Amino acid sequence: MTRKLLIVGAAFAALSLAACGQKTDEAKGAATPAEQAATPDANPAATVPTPADEAKAPDFSAKAAAGDTFEIESAKIALKRSTNADVKKFAQAMIDAHTATSQGLKAAIAASGATFTLPAALPEDLQGKLDDLNKADAKDFDKKYADDQVDAHQAALNLFQRYAQDGDNAAIKTFAAETAPKIQEHLNMAEGLKNGMK
């Protein structure tokens, strides 16, 4: 019995020492509470690591252009199908704003001296969302449109903030940095629209 207790005690002590050793290794890079308090909070969306392809101008521009096209096309559907005045007002604002950002993107690409062309068709995932929006029941349409707008603007905001920080082309980075606050406004509007339907 005593021998078993000694073995268990020795094993426990060894595990405790091993655990203590691990904690000191883990604590080396940790910030003290004072350091944490002195560090300002960052925008979480801006601190998401940039996928390597999104830091390249052609890939960022293709995704940004697709986002604008999706916004414009989904807004056109909303103008035809919705009977809600707030939804129609939002949709018209999106057509106007995203037509302007499409032109701004093209101007930034031209100013950068880059020689790539933007895709003419939507990627499969965004085309699928448009198809679903067209097929949505009339009673569910406004909610579906608002949900899609929140998702699309959050994705666009993340994309633009990351490119503004990590992008590889100065002119397009400037465009992304100047456009991100407008996208944030649209996201706030879309969330207001969605919350108004609850």
pLDDT for residue 157 = 97
- Whether the CB-CB separation of 149 and 142 falls below 8 Å is answered with no
pLDDT for residue 51 = 53
Task: Kindly give the residue spans of alpha helices, DSSP state H, lying in the chain.
Answer: 2-27, 33-38, 57-81, 85-112, 124-135, 138-166, 170-195
Mean pLDDT over 161-187 rounds to 96
Position 157, amino acid = L
Q: Where are the domains of the chain?
A: 57-197
Give whichever of 1-5, 46-50, 88-92 has the largest mean pLDDT: 88-92
pLDDT for residue 41 = 39
User: What pLDDT, in 10s, does the model give residues 101-125?
Assistant: 999 999 999 999 988 899 989 999 9
CATH number belonging to domain 57-197: 1.20.1260.10
pLDDT above 50: residue 15: no
Stronger pLDDT, 98 or 44, i.e. the higher one: 98
SS3 at position 80: helix
pLDDT above 60: residue 69: yes
Residues 25 and 47: their CA atoms lie apart, in Å, by: 25
Stronger pLDDT, 8 or 163, i.e. the higher one: 163
pLDDT above 80: residue 198: no
pLDDT for residue 25 = 40
| C-alpha radius of gyration, the chain, whole number | 25
- Whether the CB-CB separation of 57 and 168 falls below 8 Å is answered with yes
pLDDT for residue 197 = 82
pLDDT band at 52 (very low <50, low <70, confident <90, very high): low
